[in-house]
Amino acid sequence: MLRKPIQRVVLGLAVGLSSGLPAMAQTDAEKAIDRYRELVADGNPAELWEAKGEDLWKKKRGPKNASLEKCDLGLGPGVVKGAYVSLPRYFDDVKKVQDLETRLVSCMDQHQGIKAKVANYDRDDHKDVISLVAWIASESRGMPVNVPQSHPEEKRMYEVGKRVFFYRAGPYDFACATCHAADNTRIRLQGLPNLTNNEPAGKAFTSWPAYRVSNSQLWPMQKRLEDCFRQQRFPYVEFGSDVTIALSSYMGVTGKGVKSLAPTIKR
């Protein structure tokens, strides 16, 4: 006879607790996550890739036995500082908008005669691209994002990126905007940045390349965007696909002026 009321009391308590908890748990959990981030950021293994990348940039390699020191990343031949925060941009020699990763592939071809095999992540020449990206990004640390919009192709890429960002498709009828177009949202404990706003877009744009603690891999932006498409159950994008560069342009232009963080460290 006594059982029923007790059950009801317990149930009532549980409901009361669960409706009161999330707000509190969120702040505590986020504090703990911030503390964790602070701890792992000291001694970011991305530095190991940076060291390799610097070496690769200066080393004479390939059939032409040349270094990449004449490679034009958009600010003139051999200028590395500030290049990362001003890409993607239009390059006249290839008549295309390129991001850092695809630009490096062009440079390896033009200057070193290396026909880079980059189709697979962290295989063949893609290993070199990752290291180079890590070093080049580190040379722009703290500099404000300044992705150019002066060439019509650059403007077009931005517009395409914006459309792709809001384009709903796939078995889940998903878009980037489904998760990244509102403030103060999260998936479980993971805060979701609103990439239509200046600061979160700039932070996201300059957070890659990042070292991922969970799998000990260094992920450049292309790999991160490929994973976004996977998470949306879209078809896989190939390395250097225009859609990735368009999305980079959209994020970079939206995040104008935000100070670069890359290479970062992620869970």
User: So which residues are the catalytic ones?
Assistant: 228
Q: Kindly provide the residue ranges of all beta strands, DSSP E only, lying in 28-163, ordered along the sequence.
A: 89-91, 96-98
Residue 219 Cβ vs another protein, minimum distance, rounded to whole Å: 14
Of 23 and 39, the one with the shorter C-beta distance to another protein is: 39
Instruction: Closer to another protein by CB, 53 or 255: give it.
Output: 53
Q: Which is nearer to another protein, 38 or 42 (CB)?
A: 42
Distance, CA of 187 to chain centre:
18
Tokens representing 154? 């650059």
Residue 182 three-state SS: coil
φ, ψ at 200 (rounded to 5°): -60, -35
Q: Which residues contact residue 173 at a Cβ distance below 8 angstroms, ignoring those fewer than 6 apart?
A: none
Smallest gap from residue 235 Cβ to another protein (A): 22
* Residue 136: alpha-carbon gap to chain centroid: 14
Interacting residues toward another protein by CB under 8 A: 42-43, 45, 47-48, 51-52, 216
Contact 103, 97 (CB under 8 A): no
CB of 40 to another protein, least distance (A): 9
Kindly tell me which of 253 and 265 has the beta carbon lying closer to another protein. 265
CB of 243 to another protein, least distance (A): 28
- The single residue listed with the structure tokens 């095999």 is 117
